[in-house]
């Protein structure tokens, strides 16, 4: 049995956190997982605990990395004696990586889930940590996992050692995310809408890289041409308490057609109710919501960021990042398809997910990666010991 310790910055609901949950929930019993959050347990940590997997929190304050946590982490790792430490995202890569090396862990894997490293959309502290990781990439990790090809190229350009980077996609559970005609009626009824109301979705936490303000702009343009269309927005911070977002919606004259649902736990139901999924992001790596919507048979109109174009393929429409006029036109084009045409496109989208991103297939790729990582390190140690 291989013991794997996953170190992650936090366990609130997010793409990386949910992928960690899905990954360790599907790994075979040959891999024993242990999760350490640098901050707190969070909602995803509670879900992981329900799997019977050990979860602990270091208790660092967000936005205030504590270098002394490295030594606490190192002591914890010495007690656990993992075969592999797998860190997730920049701060965990840096602090968890240094702790793993201090603890003498045999194999260390970093994870990168970010593509846009511009100063416009990132905190200075994030860029400082990313730069430190780029320098340490030559020494600390044995391998670096990226969830997208675009992320791989961006980080090589940022100074990360190319030879160590491996790309593995996210995977999607086609039994959980699947077409459900009943959801169309149920969700429209919940929103007080006519059963035939066109419904566009944008799912994701409120974050500058998700570009909710740009989506409001695109929705406004579409509303002038197709005033019966409604928009469903869900995710952490995407609710009426978000004054910045609500004000933008009000100024665009969209308060009667945009529905802010906040953080939800019924995403498969919401997604399968949609006529199309939109993504207005200006920075992504491998957006889970696209694969999830496609698995529900929902075509997507998306900006060309991260691996969005690769995920969608020929089953939706791709527009340049930041071009909300083009995004509005893409949404209009998909909504103008006949129901039969849109259904056929959605079926193609689900088939693409099944062929390229089916969850169990991706899990087997991760297991093979862990085995290779562990075997390579063991062979290096044997070679060094025999020299």
Instruction: Report the CATH number that the domain containing residue 104 is assigned in CATH.
Output: 3.40.50.2000
Same domain membership, residue 102 and residue 121: yes
Per DSSP, which regions of 38-83 are E strands?
A: 54-57
Same domain membership, residue 107 and residue 217: no
Q: Do the domain assignments include residue 63? A: yes
Q: For residue range 299-338, list pLDDT tens digits in order.
A: 999 999 989 999 999 999 999 999 999 999 999 999 999 9
* SS (HEC) of 144-201: EEECCHHHHHHHHHCCCCHHHEEECCCCECCCCCCCCHHHHHHHHHHCCCCCCCCEEE
Same domain membership, residue 312 and residue 377: no
Q: Do the domain assignments include residue 116? A: yes
Q: Do the domain assignments include residue 67? A: yes
Q: Do the domain assignments include residue 176? A: no
Q: Do the domain assignments include residue 85? A: yes
Backbone angles phi, psi at 225, to 5 degrees: -95, -35
Q: CA Rg, the chain, in Å?
A: 22
Number of domains present in the structure of the chain: 2
Residues with Cβ within 8 Å of 157's Cβ and at least 6 positions away in sequence, in order, are none
| Predicted pLDDT at 387 | 46
Same domain membership, residue 106 and residue 54: yes
Same domain membership, residue 306 and residue 277: yes
Same domain membership, residue 147 and residue 132: yes
Q: What is the pTM of this model?
A: 0.86
Burial class (CB within 10 angstroms; exposed 0-12, middle 13-18, buried 19+) of 124? exposed
The tokens for 54 are: 């050990």
| Predicted pLDDT at 377 | 60
The tokens for 342 are: 């849109």
Same domain membership, residue 342 and residue 220: yes
Same domain membership, residue 209 and residue 350: yes
Report percent pLDDT > 90 for the chain: 83
| Predicted pLDDT at 1 | 86
| Predicted pLDDT at 380 | 57
Same domain membership, residue 364 and residue 266: no
Burial class (CB within 10 angstroms; exposed 0-12, middle 13-18, buried 19+) of 308? buried
Same domain membership, residue 291 and residue 216: yes
Same domain membership, residue 316 and residue 285: yes
Collect the ranges in the chain with pLDDT lower than 50.
383-384, 387
**Domain encompassing residue 278:** 181-356
Same domain membership, residue 78 and residue 155: yes
Q: Do the domain assignments include residue 50? A: yes
| Predicted pLDDT at 65 | 63
């Amino acid at each position: 049995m291989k013991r794997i310790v996953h170190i992650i910055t936090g366990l609130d609901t997010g793409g990386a956190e949910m992928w960690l949950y899905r990954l360790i929930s599907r790994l075979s019993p040959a891999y024993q997982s242990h999760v350490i959050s640098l901050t707190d347990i969070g909602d995803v940590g509670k879900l992981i605990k329900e799997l019977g997997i050990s979860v602990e929190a270091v208790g660092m304050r967000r936005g205030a990395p504590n270098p002394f946590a490295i030594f606490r982490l190192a002591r914890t790792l010495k007690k656990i004696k993992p075969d592999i430490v797998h860190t997730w995202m920049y701060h965990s890569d840096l602090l968890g990586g240094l702790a793993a090396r201090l603890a003498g862990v045999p194999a260390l894997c970093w994870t990168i889930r970010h593509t846009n490293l511009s100063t416009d959309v990132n905190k200075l502290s994030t860029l400082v940590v990313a730069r430190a990781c780029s320098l340490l990439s030559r020494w600390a990790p044995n391998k670096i996992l990226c969830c997208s090809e675009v992320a791989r190229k961006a980080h090589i350009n940022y100074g990360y050692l190319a030879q160590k980077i491996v790309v593995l996609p996210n995977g999607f559970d086609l039994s959980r995310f699947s077409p459900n005609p009943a959801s169309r009626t149920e969700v429209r009824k919940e929103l007080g809408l006519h059963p035939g109301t066109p419904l566009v979705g944008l799912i994701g936490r409120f974050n500058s890289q998700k570009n909710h303000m740009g989506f409001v702009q695109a929705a406004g343009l579409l509303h002038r041409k197709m005033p019966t269309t409604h928009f469903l927005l869900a995710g952490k911070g995407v609710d009426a308490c978000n004054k910045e977002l609500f004000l933008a919606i009000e100024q665009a004259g969209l308060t009667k057609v945009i529905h802010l649902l906040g953080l939800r736990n019924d995403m498969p139901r919401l997604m399968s109710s949609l006529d199309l999924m939109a993504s207005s992001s200006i920075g992504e790596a491998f957006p889970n919501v696209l694969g999830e919507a496609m698995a529900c048979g929902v075509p997507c109109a998306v900006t060309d960021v991260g691996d969005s174009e690769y995920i969608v393929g020929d089953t939706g429409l791709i527009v340049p990042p930041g071009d909300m006029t083009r995004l509005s036109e893409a949404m209009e084009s998909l909504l103008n398809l006949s129901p039969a045409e849109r259904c056929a496109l959605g079926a193609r989208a689900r088939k693409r997910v099944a062929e390229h991103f089916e969850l169990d297939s991706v899990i087997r790729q991760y297991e093979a990666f862990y085995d290779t990582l562990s075997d390579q390190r063991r062979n290096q140690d044997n070679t060094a010991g025999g020299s």
